[in-house]
Structure 1
Amino acid sequence: MSKPKKGILIILSFFAIYVIWGSTYLMNKIVVTEVAPFLLAAIRFLSAGTLIMIISKILKLPLRITRAQFFNCVIAGFLFLFYGNGIFVWALKYVDSGFAALIVATQPLFVIFLMRILQGKKIKPKSLVGVGLGLVGMYLLISQDTLNLSRESSIGIAVIFTCVLGVSFASIFVSKADLPSHFFVTTGYQMLTAGTLLIIGSLVLGETWTSPLDWSLKAQGAMVLLILFGSIVAFTAFNFLLKEVSTEKVATSAYVNPVIALLLGWYFLDENISQQSIVAGCVLLTGVYFINSKKKFVMFSRFKKNLKV
């Protein structure tokens, strides 16, 4: 693939994990009012995984993988989709959604420090500034809501932190792991394995199963969007980016998604956007700029140079 084409694909992929994934908050909110969480995720990922494999077959992409590649897909599917999605939604029963979103915003910080611990990668000063701005922005965004914490909340908070840690570790793992040669096929295997685990989890928890034919048209439409765009397009873009750009840059979606979700809630659900929300969004996007920017942190460089003198 030529550099210009790859550059365009990277830009489109960031749009997918920023905007499309940000819209999944709205879509999930619509569907989960009628469908159990694990069943919802299982239908979403099994359907998307099956479609990906069919498309891959039509495009004549190589579907055969080694045992090691399959094992790595299982690990990634478990951490990203089963634990990072299914368990996270379950934990929301015990934690205020606003507080949970604030916890999720720590993902880039987890990624940066895990890369330091596991790979010995130095933490760039501008990346730390970006993470700090992201956390400040998320606090401004979420602090407007009243957090109702109960005794059970400590369990939910602990579980959500493990979800964020798991997704952060998986992001680093996938960037270096031996996976199928085509990222589209990688996505398919991850979704099929995760969907199977979610079906088992749904049975173990005794969730009530309902047929999609019995859902409202609104829920059916939202599920179709989740499968086609939230799963196939966005998650494929996510896997592509993990192989093409630094992991901490991919993790910035944790900052942008809540902003997109807020805007969609305002547009489709008539939710109000306060001045504080606008300020929070600006701070968040500034944080993303610092982490994604290739420019050197001039102030720090000068300070470091003066120390040497």
Structure 2
Amino acid sequence: MLAPAPTAAPRSLIVLALLALYLIWGSTYLATKIALDVWPPFLLSSMRYLVAGTVLYGAMRLSGAAAPSRQDWGRAAVVGLCLPVFGNGGTTFAQQYIPSGTTALLVATVPMYLALLGWASGLSRRPNAKVLLGLVLGIGGLLLLMRTSSTASVLLPGHSLLGIGAVLVASFMWAVGSLYSRQKPVSGSPFVGVGMQMLCGGGYLLIIGLLHGEAATFHVAEVPLKIWGALAYLITFGSIVAFSAYIWLLRVVEPALAGTYAFVNPVVAVLLGWLFAGERLNTGMVGGAALIVAAVALVVLGGKQPQPRKLS
């Protein structure tokens, strides 16, 4: 059965939405790095999603959206565990050990996981030659990154493999959660569903942060204004604006076009880390970045569904 044709939308709005994904999601890695100077990782992610989820869910319910069912909350709880907890919580945890630019490059493996898991689960076609070539290039880029030592400062140096492993697990679980949410979506408004997922994920992250002992060493009164600004940016732009733009794009353009954020974000993150966070570039990082970006481009564009020709 063919997917419904995308709804016509003004080109200017499509361009603005794509720019929001490219620039905002690419810049959240730097904002996270700044916030981690004071906030512990799991409490930071918890605050981000609890506030964003409350605002989004509350706004949609006040605007007249139907109340979700118990089954909807169950599905949101599963996605909240995979995406906010493993996905964002894992990458935030990893940024204590590896630079923000490297984190973004590793997160760019999500489309590769989606291609393999989608095929294995029967949700998508078998990977074609372009996708397979992209997977090979992506593995090569990851190996190159793992062998490259960065000169960028990190909060907890000497554990880069732990950070790399955490991001790879986070990316894998993000792909799992994405496929699950596609197969078992929350009924009604997709914005209500996103708010529910954020609330569930934020609750999980709060429990994890408390069990991890983060509350004992963190004092809200000592958070400087700069750090509050970084957190506000993550909540407002990273979790509300960019997610809303992404959901809207999925309704009006081809998924392959909306998914191009996956290989633009790493470039933005690496450049911002170099410009503002002292994350120096070296030959190994540039080579790994080039391979991963090329790999994700092949996976995303190579997996684009062919459009049937219209009969005249």
- Tell me if the contact between 1:77 and 1:191 (Cα under 8 Å) persists in the aligned partners: yes
Comparing 24-33 with 163-172, greater Cα deviation is found at 163-172
Cα distance change, pair 2–21 in 1 and its aligned pair in 2 (3 A): closer
Taking the aligned partners of 2:299 and 2:148, their CA distance within structure 1 comes to: 26
Cα distance change, pair 293–200 in 1 and its aligned pair in 2 (3 A): closer
Secondary structure of 1:4's aligned partner: coil
Cα distance change, pair 143–243 in 1 and its aligned pair in 2 (3 A): farther
Taking the aligned partners of 1:288 and 1:8, their CA distance within structure 2 comes to: 26
By how many angstroms is 1:85 displaced?
1.9
Letter in 1 for 2:171: V
Question: Which residue pairs with 1:80 in the alignment?
Answer: 83
By how many angstroms is 1:215 displaced?
1.4
Any idea what the Cα deviations from partners look like across 1:45-95, whole Å, max 9, x if unmatched? Answer: 11111111233245x2414112222111111111000122224433555x5
For residues 109-128 of structure 1, the aligned pairs below 5 Å read: 109-119=112-122, 121-128=125-132
Letter in 1 for 2:129: P
Matched, 1:208 2:215: yes
Taking the aligned partners of 2:275 and 2:102, their CA distance within structure 1 comes to: 23
Cα distance change, pair 280–33 in 1 and its aligned pair in 2 (3 A): same
Taking the aligned partners of 1:146 and 1:272, their CA distance within structure 2 comes to: 7
Please point out which of 120, 126, 133 is paired with 1:129.
Answer: 133
Taking the aligned partners of 2:229 and 2:149, their CA distance within structure 1 comes to: 29
Please point out which of 265, 268, 278 is paired with 1:260.
Answer: 268
Matched, 1:69 2:72: yes
Comparing 39-48 with 6-15, greater Cα deviation is found at 6-15
Unaligned stretches of 5+ residues in structure 1? 297-309
For residues 155-194 of structure 1, the aligned pairs below 5 Å read: 159-194=166-201
- Tell me if the contact between 1:102 and 1:142 (Cα under 8 Å) persists in the aligned partners: no
Letter in 1 for 2:86: Y
Taking the aligned partners of 2:12 and 2:160, their CA distance within structure 1 comes to: 43
Secondary structure of 2:67's aligned partner: coil
For residues 1-309 of structure 1, the aligned pairs below 5 Å read: 3-5=7-9, 12-58=16-62, 60-91=63-94, 96-97=98-99, 103-119=106-122, 121-134=125-138, 145-146=149-150, 159-208=166-215, 210=218, 212-240=220-248, 253-269=261-277, 271-273=279-281, 285-293=293-301
Any idea what the Cα deviations from partners look like across 1:286-306, whole Å, max 9, x if unmatched? Answer: 44543444799xxxxxxxxxx
By how many angstroms is 1:219 displaced?
0.5
Any idea what the Cα deviations from partners look like across 1:196-241, whole Å, max 9, x if unmatched? Answer: 1111111111113645553111111111100001111223344556
Query: Root-mean-square deviation (CA), in Å?
Result: 3.9
Unaligned stretches of 5+ residues in structure 2? 305-312
By how many angstroms is 1:258 displaced?
2.2
- Tell me if the contact between 2:24 and 2:238 (Cα under 8 Å) persists in the aligned partners: yes
TM-score (norm 2): 0.75
Question: Which residue pairs with 2:310 in the alignment?
Answer: none
Comparing 124-133 with 21-30, greater Cα deviation is found at 124-133
Comparing 243-252 with 31-40, greater Cα deviation is found at 243-252
- Tell me if the contact between 2:145 and 2:285 (Cα under 8 Å) persists in the aligned partners: yes
TM-score (norm 1): 0.76
By how many angstroms is 1:108 displaced?
2.1
Secondary structure of 1:121's aligned partner: coil
Identity of aligned residues (%): 32
Taking the aligned partners of 2:244 and 2:194, their CA distance within structure 1 comes to: 6
How many residue pairs get matched? 294
- Tell me if the contact between 1:130 and 1:288 (Cα under 8 Å) persists in the aligned partners: yes
